[in-house]
Structure 1
């Protein structure tokens, strides 16, 4: 059977991928997109949602998870769900990430159910895309490991997420595994044995990991048993925010910034940071307690290469994420960009090996680095937060479809 070329296919169906239908709904274009063909492909089974399923509080307020959805759109029922009401109870306060995860899972179910109303739309679960191929006509083929085309489309969005960087030290585990409560036995054993626990990184994930260790096994820990290693100064969130337009940036429509466009400055003279950069809430309080000596069980070290964390019986890496690999090939089967992290420009367009946008190909979510510029610089991640994925970034992509 010959496949119909859809207007769009999105590889991945995690938090960032949801931004595409959410932004289309906000613009009143969701039904048009679905009629013209919109296909989502996800490797997970339907109902299998582990995104953001961490036993910590968010580094953002509850309302940030809600703000992308239009109360007047086709997806407004998501805002009336019990999961949404749990976030609406304290919209200006950080929230347990597992509460936010349940809300995003509800949004995913609603979007998947909405696609079945249209002949040209579909959500494929339990389907693994091995690579994308852009043919001579500019159409994108998502293919499985046997080379069979799963979907055909005029545009494509890569939203396959990223994996945590594991670290090079032996016996290293990731902060993600700890925060998912997959390493409880090992953490408890290390705490009880009095051995050093090294945490690599100075981000929200790092201090959330330390907070969990203190909360669960603090009674077993001795002074200085946890060491936090950072390569640079720890950033603390500053509440002073300014519109992105003041920095010369605009939203997708070329007018005012969309949701998630606010910036915060960490300290005078530093570069602008997105609204979730820097510690706040419980992570900030813990950092300040460690720094002033009020939390003696934790030591803060600035030079991990000199501290020798490889000697620790338990090393926890909270050092960021590495892109999941999804090769994109041209009509001749040659890679369009080098293996590894795909770079995207400020419009969300994926760049080829020469730094040129690949027509019709976009990237959203963790795992996409930025070229040098005001928002990234030298391979940094673009502004990364759910309300940015659901807001400005998704706006810019949907405006080009």
Structure 2
């Protein structure tokens, strides 16, 4: 049996959040420090799958375009990605929204450059087609991983960048996921349902939900179909405004818990932007009559309706055990794993697990600045916070 490969840190997942550590090290001129630590990346996809970063949806991003490019060093290892038509397109959008597929293509280029860099150094590796089937935390605080091909690795630190999948909506019977609509692949199916069923119900008030509504309303109006389109939302849709005054001028009351941070500033990560935000506001102010927002406590029959699942995402399951076989249960909130202000993952008792970090979608901050991890978080502040702790250790 081959001995395990030893690294300073193992990273599970190489999606957008998986670019964070390398981006920080390059941006701050500390790639040498990362090289000394030794990084192993496990990615379950095959190595030619960069054309799909789970961002290939035919919709606007809910994040300003400049967030996707501002965290990468233009004169470092990512220099070849700048000055291209793809970069120029994102830069031209500035603080405005961009097509999510454009951001996907740019991050895919960044990922390829990251892969090339990792392959060029001695004590770091990237393993593709590496689905981790078990993670063991031993009594000495070391993490041992084994993938389905039998490759074993050991490290002092483990970083989850595991991404997420659409939440299960089995309680509503048959349904389709928002991503199927937002990839623009089933317009004919939606058209048929609008014509034959006469009602489409979207569950959720997320950016995906209102983006789905935009697509459905486009088909409804283009073909002059009288079908009803409804959104079932647990809470009032959150709409992003640059400041409190702008919200007041639009007769919108901000959510004090989620949209306003304790220091009185606007939470950049909370709220709809762009066309999705305009649609939500138009519905709430009565300017849009073809879409209705319904609270879940209002009696409503969906038996004869096509149901679209836009309730959000939940993280991929984690199989983490101790050396004695005891399962380590993680703290969860809103279907996400909970992390503290240092991005350490918390156990079921709310205590940080030594050496275990989480970054990206699927993780929820537990400190007073509660917010879902945004692009700025996993390429900027979050990645830097974790990297700084690695250097201290």
8 Å CA contact 2:343, 2:365 repeated in 1? no
Q: TM-score scaled to structure 1, two decimals?
A: 0.85
Separation (CA, whole Å) in 2 of partners of 1:123 and 1:178: 33
Separation (CA, whole Å) in 1 of partners of 2:54 and 2:31: 24
Q: Name which of 336, 345, 348 aligns with 2:340.
A: 345
- Aligned CA distance change for structure 1 residues 7 and 304 (closer, same or farther; 3 Å): same
- Aligned CA distance change for structure 1 residues 155 and 23 (closer, same or farther; 3 Å): same
Partner of 1:355: 350
- Aligned CA distance change for structure 1 residues 339 and 392 (closer, same or farther; 3 Å): closer
8 Å CA contact 2:141, 2:156 repeated in 1? yes
Structure 1 segments unaligned to the other structure (5+ residues): 242-264, 377-381
8 Å CA contact 1:7, 1:33 repeated in 2? no
Partner of 2:194: 191
Q: In the TM superposition, what is the alpha-carbon distance from 1:339 to its structure 2 partner?
A: 8.7
Superimposed CA distance per residue, residues 359-400 of structure 1 (whole angstroms, 9 cap, x where no aligned partner): 1110111112344x4133xxxxx4322122101111111111
Q: Name which of 239, 243, 263 aligns with 2:242.
A: 239
Partner of 1:280: 273
Separation (CA, whole Å) in 1 of partners of 2:198 and 2:189: 12
Partner of 1:329: 321
- Aligned CA distance change for structure 1 residues 50 and 268 (closer, same or farther; 3 Å): closer
Q: TM-score scaled to structure 2, two decimals?
A: 0.87
Separation (CA, whole Å) in 2 of partners of 1:305 and 1:189: 29
Separation (CA, whole Å) in 1 of partners of 2:225 and 2:274: 25
Q: In the TM superposition, what is the alpha-carbon distance from 1:127 to its structure 2 partner?
A: 1.3
Q: In the TM superposition, what is the alpha-carbon distance from 1:42 to its structure 2 partner?
A: 0.7
Separation (CA, whole Å) in 2 of partners of 1:186 and 1:178: 10
8 Å CA contact 1:57, 1:95 repeated in 2? yes
- Aligned CA distance change for structure 1 residues 121 and 269 (closer, same or farther; 3 Å): closer
Q: Name which of 64, 68, 72 aligns with 1:65.
A: 68
Separation (CA, whole Å) in 2 of partners of 1:224 and 1:285: 22
Partner of 2:360: 365
State yes or no: 1:317 paired with 2:304: no
State yes or no: 1:208 paired with 2:211: yes
Q: Name which of 372, 385, 388 aligns with 1:399.
A: 388
Partner of 2:248: none
- Aligned CA distance change for structure 1 residues 70 and 58 (closer, same or farther; 3 Å): same
Partner of 1:77: 80
Partner of 1:267: 254
Superimposed CA distance per residue, residues 313-339 of structure 1 (whole angstroms, 9 cap, x where no aligned partner): 311121121111021111212122249
Q: In the TM superposition, what is the alpha-carbon distance from 1:139 to its structure 2 partner?
A: 1.9
Separation (CA, whole Å) in 2 of partners of 1:26 and 1:266: 38
Other structure's SS at 2:236 match: coil
8 Å CA contact 1:223, 1:298 repeated in 2? no
Q: In the TM superposition, what is the alpha-carbon distance from 1:309 to its structure 2 partner?
A: 5.0
